[in-house]
Amino acid sequence: MAIFPDNNRPSRPFGRGPRRVVEEPYRVNERILAPRVRLVGENIKVDVYPTSVAIKIAQEQGLDLVEISPNADPPVCKVIDYSKFKYEQKKKQKEIKANAQKTILKEIRFGPNTDDHDFNFKVKHAENFLKEGAKVKSYVHFAGRSIVYKERGEILLLKFAQALEEFGKVEQMPKLEGKRMYMMIAPKGKK
C-alpha cells in the first residue's frame, strides 16, 4: 500500500533539497566553442591559433586554456592553471568589495517640544557623525495629539539643518510620513 496516492506524490524525496549546479564563469579547454582563438600567457607566442592547437599547447605545459574575453574577435584565451586563476579572481572581487565605501546611517530623534539643551546635545552628536562620514537621519516623532504641532517639528528640523550646515548638506527636506517628520543630512565632501 502506497503512503501517497499517485496524484499527491511529493516532487522530491524527503530530507533532500534540489541539487544546485554551480556554473563556471569561464569556458575552459574543450568547452571553448570558437574555432580560432587568440592565445596569450607566459612563455607563449601571442598569435591566433585553431582551438585544438591552443588546447594542445596548454596541455603540453600542464596548464589549462581559459577563455578570458569571449566577446573579442577572435576570443582571447590564456594558458594558466584554472584553479589558481579562479582563486585570483575571487581575491580581486573581495578586494573591490572591501574598498567600496560603506554608507552608515545614524538616526537622531526629536520630540516637537525638544528644549534648547537637548537640541544642542543632539547637534553635537550629529556633528561627530557627519565628521566620521555617516549620514544623519533626523526626525521628529509626534506622539498622541502632538501631531497638531507639525509646524514646530518642521522649524526644529530646519534649525537643526542650519546648525549643521558647515558639516553637512541637506539631502532631503523635512517630509511628514505618518507620525514622523524626516530629514536627511549627508556629510560634506572632504577638502
Q: Is the pLDDT of residue 7 over 60?
A: no
Q: Which amino acid is at 29?
A: N
Length of the chain: 191
Q: Is the pLDDT of residue 186 over 70?
A: yes
- Do 29-85 and 105-187 fold alike per CATH? no
Q: Is the pLDDT of residue 92 over 50?
A: yes
The residues, ordered by sequence, that sit 6+ positions from 184 with a Cβ below 8 Å of its Cβ are 135, 136, 137, 170, 171, 172
Q: Is the pLDDT of residue 124 over 90?
A: yes
CATH number of 105-187: 3.30.110.10
Average pLDDT over residues 105-130: 90
pLDDT > 70 in the chain, percent:
86
122 falls in which pLDDT band (50, 70, 90)? very high
Q: Exposure string (b/e) for 16-42, b if CB count within 10 Å is 16 or more?
A: eeeeeeeeeebbbbeebebeebbbbbe
Average pLDDT over residues 65-78: 88
14 falls in which pLDDT band (50, 70, 90)? low
Q: Is the pLDDT of residue 191 over 50?
A: no
15 falls in which pLDDT band (50, 70, 90)? low
Q: What is the mean pLDDT of the chain?
A: 83
Domain 29-85 matching CATH 3.90.1150.10: the answer reads no
Domain ranges of the chain: 29-85, 105-187
User: What 3-state class would DSSP assign to 131?
Assistant: helix
Report pLDDT digits (tens) over 135-152.
Answer: 999 999 888 888 887 888
User: Which is more confident, 10 or 119?
Assistant: 119
